Amino acid sequence: MASYGQSAVAVFPVTNYNFGQKDNKVGKDAQDKFQRMQHKYAQEGVRKSTKGILLVHQHNHPHVLLLQVANAWKLPGGKLRPGEDEVEGLKRKLLTSLSPTSASLMTDWEVGECVGTFWRPSFDANVYPYLPAHITKPKEVKRLFIVPLPEKCYFAVPKNLKLLAVPLFELHDNMAKFGPVIAAIPQLMSRFKLNLSGQTVPETASNRETDETAGARLS
């Protein structure tokens, strides 16, 4: 049988990880999002953002870790600072959105391959996995990176957000619920060999939840 040289990604059980909470993240008014984007565009030019795809497995099926606020879903990550490197910017965003505040519990995030690029032609919600031919000045470019997880680590998300493991099959072709970027993840990941590795780590004194990590554990 021919080999297509698939890159391998190790995926560990969701029960390996400790999930908790930290102080609320001060949100910005979603209704003003595109007005802010237009104002920033006039100052800084094309908005550049990076998002991370973090995988776990549950019931022998890959799941993606998604942040939920109200009825909106998003991948961890966000807007880069002017001139900021994409990988370093994504690491910064992962640290602020997913890591506990205690330095001893923080993860040294690894960023893997870029698996997709999406373009926003106008100051609205429409994004595409290509730059339309008639668009010479896109308003945003958004890149998606695989973020390989260590076998064990701690997560802590703001109390006004939820971190949920959503199965790949639920994302597929489900733009109505998740939007075009998240709904494309099953296709983007299809060129990778996902190794569902490891056994569930039993709770011990070393991985038992502390006050900081206690909270909305995924189930």
Question: How would you write the pLDDT of the chain (219 residues) with one tens digit per residue?
Answer: 445 667 999 999 999 999 999 998 776 666 688 999 999 999 999 999 999 999 999 999 999 999 999 889 999 999 999 999 999 999 999 999 999 999 999 999 999 999 999 999 999 999 999 999 999 999 999 999 999 999 999 999 999 999 999 999 999 999 999 999 999 999 999 999 999 986 544 444 434 443 333 333 443
Would you state the pLDDT for residue 32? 84
> What is residue 208's predicted lDDT score, i.e. its pLDDT?
41
Q: Tell me, what's the pLDDT at 197?
A: 85
- Output the CA torsion sign for 127, 129, 134, 139: positive
Contact present, 95 and 102 (Cβ < 8 Å)? no
CB 203 within 8 A of CB 9: no
Task: Indicate the pTM of the whole model.
Answer: 0.87
pLDDT at position 29 is: 65
The 3-state DSSP class for residue 166 equals strand
Task: Pinpoint the alpha helices (H) of the chain.
Answer: 33-44, 86-98, 168-171, 175-183, 185-189
Q: What is the pLDDT of residue 37?
A: 93
Residue 31 gets which letter from DSSP? G
